[in-house]
Structure 1
Amino acid sequence: MADKAPETPKTPGCDAYFEKIQSRKKLPFTLQEALTNAFANIPVSSFPQVPGGKVIEIPADTPIVEAVKILSEQNIMSAPVRNPDAGTSLDWRDRYLGIIDYSAIILWVLENAEIAAVALSAGSATAAGVGVGALGAIGALALGATGPVAVAGLTVAAVGAAVAGGMVAERGAGKDAPTAAGQLGEDFYKVIVQEEPFKSATVQSIIKSFRWAPFLPVALDSSMLTVLLLLSKYRLRSVPVIETGKPFVRNFITQSAVVQGLRGCRGRDWFDSISGQSLSDFGLPFMPSDEVISVKGDELILEAFKLMKDNEIGGVPVLDGSSKKIIGNISIRDIRFLLLRAGVFSNFRQLTVTDFMDTIASITETEGANAAMKPAVTCRVDTTLGSVIETLATRHIHRVYVVNDEDEVTGVVTLRDVISCFIYEPPNHFDNYLGFAVKEMLNK
C-alpha cells in the first residue's frame, strides 16, 4: 500500500478499544458504514483515559493568567472549570461551571485590550489610571488635564462618547487607542494582566461572559459514535465524560486524543484501507481555497487573533505579502505567549505577525520547545489520509494546510475533518443518542 507508515507501538488502549471494529469489518456494508455501526456499539467507557488517569481541572476562582499557565504547562487546549462552592454535592451539574479554553481567553484579552487602549487614549498617563471590569465596564477613566479621575461603571460606548465629545486630555498618551497603547508599552501590559481589577479577574468571569463551547457531557455507557460526531460534525473540541450519580469528570476526550488513537491502529485492515486513500478521494479539503481565512505576515498580530475570534476558527495560515504562498501559521494556543511574556505583550499593538513568529521561535528554541509556527506544516491533495494523521499526531497540531506546487494555500485539513472520514451521522442519531447530553444541559 502506498505511503504506508512503518509499524510502531500501538497507542495504549487502542487494541481493546478497536477490537469490536475489527470484528465487524466484514459486515455487508461500505467500510464507513461498518465503522459507523461499530462505533455506535462501542461504549465511551472503553476509550483510553487521559494521560496520568486524572482529568486536569481548573477552579473557577483561579486568576486568568494562572489558568493560562496551567493550560500551557499541561500542553492542553481546554479544561473543565470546577465550582469551588459546590461543597459536597454529588451532582456534576453543581460541580462544573463549564469549560475554559484558549478561544474564550482570546475574547477576554481582545475585549479588555481594546477597552483599556481607548481609556488610555482618553488621557491616562499611566497604567494606574485605568481598570477594566471582566464584563467590559471601565472601572476608571482619566479625564481632565490635572490627572486621572475615577469614573466607575463607564461602558465602552460611554468611553467612546467621551472621546468623541472632546472630553480628552490633550496631554494624554495619545488621541487614538493604538497610539495610546503603543506608547505606553510595558504599562499597557500591566493594565491587562498585572493591575487591578485584571490581576484578580478569574476564570469564572470568562466562563460567564465568553463561553465559546458548551459543557456537553456524555455518559460512560454512551456510544463512541456520539463523541465522534460531537468532535467532528458538531464542532466541539472536547467532550467531558461523566458517570451518572458521581460528581467528577471521569474522562476528557479531545479531537487530538481520537486522532492519536487512530494513528495507533496502523496495520489493521480497516484503518489501512481508509488511510491509504488520498485527501482528494474524500473530497478534502472541504473548504474552497477562496474561503480559507488567512493573514499576511506584515499585518498586526492583533488582526490574526481577531480573525480567529470573528470566524470562530482555531488557526490561520500566514501568507507572504500579496501572494498566497504560506510562510507560517498562528493558532489559538499562541495567545499564551501574549499573556505569559511581558516583553512580547508590551509591543502588542504594533507587533506584526512575522515579528511575532520570529520572536516566539527564538524564545522556544532557547527553551528547547517548539511553537510550530514556522515553517508551516503543509501537504498536497494527493497526500494520503494516513500521512496527514501521522503528521497531526506526531507534531501535536490541529491542522495541516494544503498547498499547490507553488506553496500557495488551497485549503486546510483539521482534526475534525480527519475524524469525519471514518464515520457519518445515521438518521435520527441526534434524537436517539445525543438526547442524554442535551437533556442534562436543559436540566442544569
Structure 2
Amino acid sequence: MESPPGSARSSPEAEVGMQVEDLWDIQEPQLTPSEKLNSCFESMPVTSFPQAPSSQVFEIPSNSSLADAVEILSKNRILSAPVRNIEAPEDASWLDRYIGIVEFAGITVWLLHQSEMAASGRAARTPNVGHVTDKITAKLSNIKLGCDNSETQNPLPEAADFMGGTFLETLTTSEFYKKTKVQDISGTFRWAPFLALQKSDSFLTMLLLLSKYRMKSLPVVDLGEGKIDNIITQSAVVHMLAECVGFHWFENWGTRKLYELGLPSNINRIIKVSEDDSVLKAFQLMRKRRIGGVPVVDKSGKKAIGNISIRDVQYLLTTPEMYKGYRSITAKVFTRSIKSYIDTHEDASPRFQGVLTCNRENTIKDIILKLDAVKVQRIYVVDNEENLEGVVTLRDIISRLVHEPNHYFGDFFDGVVPLPENSRV
C-alpha cells in the first residue's frame, strides 16, 4: 500500500509527527531506532496530543439510570465516559470527583449476566444494588420466549434462549433497566478504573498505558480545575500514526513487516465463534478472555464470514426491534441484522460491515492505514487460501511502537487507581 500523497501536514496529528521528527533528528547516534522513539515520546507532554471533539469529553452523573447512560452514549456515538460522583463536594480533587469509567459494553454485559443468572433461577447479587437485584429473577423469568415451558419441558430455558428479540425488547422497557443506577454497577463487568493522566505526563506514559496496561481510553485531567481536559483513545493514537506517514521516524518503524515484529502473536491460536453459535457465546468469550472482538467463522471453522466486536453490544440495547420474533440470536443472525439495520437507517452509527484482513507480509504501515480508513480496532491475518491465522489489534500496534524502561512507572499506580470492590477490568 502506497503512502497517501502529500499526507495532510496541516492536521493536528501531523503536527505531532513533526514534533517527533524534530526530536528524532537530535537523538544520540548510538541509540537504536527503538530507543530513539522512546526518548522522543518521553520528551513530549500529553498536552501535545490533539484535542478530542467536545462531544466526547463529558461526564455521566453517578445517579444516572442505565437507560439514561445508554441514551447518552448512543446519542454521542461514543463507547465510554467518566462517571462523576454527585456526592463529591465542589472543591473535591479529581480522585474523589470520579468513581470510574463506564463502558457501553459494561452495561450490556452486566445485564446479560443478570439474564444468565435468572435463566438458572437465581439473581446475581451486585454490590450496592441491594433490593433491585432481589427482584430480577421474577422480572426476567416471566418474559415470554415463545416456547412451551410446560411440566414436560425444562422449566428454566437455556441462557441462549434469553437472547431472543422478545427478551431484549422486554428488558429495555423494564423498570429494572430504567431504575438501576450507573453507580450500582460499579465494581462489575468491564467497569474500568479511573486512571487519569496529568498534563505533565508524557506521550510514553500514555502509549504504555494504552498498550501494555490495556487501557482503552485515558482522560487527561486539569489539576487546577480538577476536571477532564481531554480524552485519548487507542483509535485516536492510530489515527495520529496514520497522519504521520512519510516522516522519517515513522517510515523507519512502519515499513517493517508484521512477521518481523512478531505479529500476530497468537498465530493459529485465534479465539473464534461459529456462525451457528449463539451471539451470547461471543460476548461470553470476550468477557472471559478479556478481548475486544471475535471472528465469526463458517462451518469449516477456517474462514471468517463476519466479526463481532465488544462495541457491537450497543445494538442489543439500542435496537432490540432488529431481533423481534427471534427465539434466539446466532452470531450469523446478529451480524446480518446489524448490516440490515444500518443499510435501512440513515441515522445509524457508521460501521465497517466486512471482515478486514491482511497477511504476515504486510507492513505495520499497511495495517495502520487500513484500520484507520474503516475505523475498526482489529484486523485478521490470513494465509494465501484466506484461512485465519491470527489477529492484530490497535494495542498490538502501539506495543510495537514503544517499550517500557526498567522501573519506569515507579509508584505511579499507588493511590491513582481506586479500583472498585470486586472489580473485573
Settle same-fold status: TM greater than 0.5.
Answer: yes
Q: Which residue of 2 aligns with 1:439?
A: 415
SS in 2 for 1:24: helix
User: Structure 1 residue 217: deviation in Å?
Assistant: 1.0
How big is each residue's C-alpha offset from its partner over 1:345-392, in whole Å with a ceiling of 9 and x where there is no partner? Answer: 556761111111111100001124566464211111111211111111
- 8 Å contact from structure 1 (residues 61, 202) kept in 2: yes
Q: Out of 328, 337, 344, which is 2:306 matched to?
A: 328
Q: Which residue of 2 aligns with 1:207?
A: 186
SS in 2 for 1:410: strand
User: Structure 1 residue 10: deviation in Å?
Assistant: 4.1
User: Structure 1 residue 99: deviation in Å?
Assistant: 0.3
Q: Out of 335, 358, 375, which is 1:357 matched to?
A: 335
User: Structure 1 residue 131: deviation in Å?
Assistant: 11
Output the amino acid matched with 1:233: K
Q: Which residue of 1 aligns with 2:146?
A: none
- Residue 319 in structure 1 maps to residue 297 in structure 2: yes
Q: Out of 292, 311, 321, which is 1:343 matched to?
A: 321
Q: Which residue of 2 aligns with 1:14?
A: 13
User: Structure 1 residue 430: deviation in Å?
Assistant: 1.7
CA distance in 1, matches of 2:399, 2:105: 22
- Matched pairs, number: 406
**Cα distance, 1:401–1:311 mapped onto 2, change above 3 Å:** same
Percent of residue pairs bearing the same amino acid type: 36
Map 1:223-238 onto structure 2 (within 5 A): 223-238=202-217
CA distance in 1, matches of 2:218, 2:163: 43
Q: Which residue of 2 aligns with 1:297?
A: 275
CA distance in 2, matches of 1:299, 1:227: 38
Q: Out of 371, 389, 395, which is 2:368 matched to?
A: 389
CA distance in 2, matches of 1:398, 1:184: 28
User: Structure 1 residue 245: deviation in Å?
Assistant: 3.8
Q: Which residue of 1 aligns with 2:145?
A: none
CA distance in 1, matches of 2:204, 2:381: 28
Output the amino acid matched with 1:250: D
- Residue 139 in structure 1 maps to residue 135 in structure 2: yes
How big is each residue's C-alpha offset from its partner over 1:324-351, in whole Å with a ceiling of 9 and x where there is no partner? Answer: 1111100011111111122245567611
Which structure has the higher relative contact order (CA within 8 Å, separation 6+)?
2
How big is each residue's C-alpha offset from its partner over 1:59-101, in whole Å with a ceiling of 9 and x where there is no partner? Answer: 2222223322332332322211112222412411222110011
SS in 2 for 1:386: helix
CA distance in 2, matches of 1:30, 1:231: 23
Identify unmatched segments of 5+ residues in structure 2: 143-148, 421-425
- 8 Å contact from structure 1 (residues 3, 276) kept in 2: no
Output the amino acid matched with 2:78: I
Q: Which residue of 1 aligns with 2:287?
A: 309
TM-score, length basis structure 1: 0.83
- CA RMSD, aligned part only? 3.1
- 8 Å contact from structure 2 (residues 56, 78) kept in 1: no
User: Structure 1 residue 199: deviation in Å?
Assistant: 2.0
**Cα distance, 1:245–1:348 mapped onto 2, change above 3 Å:** farther
SS in 2 for 1:86: coil
Output the amino acid matched with 1:18: G
How big is each residue's C-alpha offset from its partner over 1:235-261, in whole Å with a ceiling of 9 and x where there is no partner? Answer: 111111112242211111111111111
Output the amino acid matched with 1:440: V
- 8 Å contact from structure 2 (residues 274, 298) kept in 1: yes
TM-score, length basis structure 2: 0.86
Q: Which residue of 1 aligns with 2:155?
A: 175
Q: Which residue of 2 aligns with 1:114?
A: 116
- 8 Å contact from structure 1 (residues 174, 180) kept in 2: no
Larger radius of gyration, structure 1 or 2?
1
- Residue 241 in structure 1 maps to residue 217 in structure 2: no
Identify unmatched segments of 5+ residues in structure 1: 123-129, 149-168
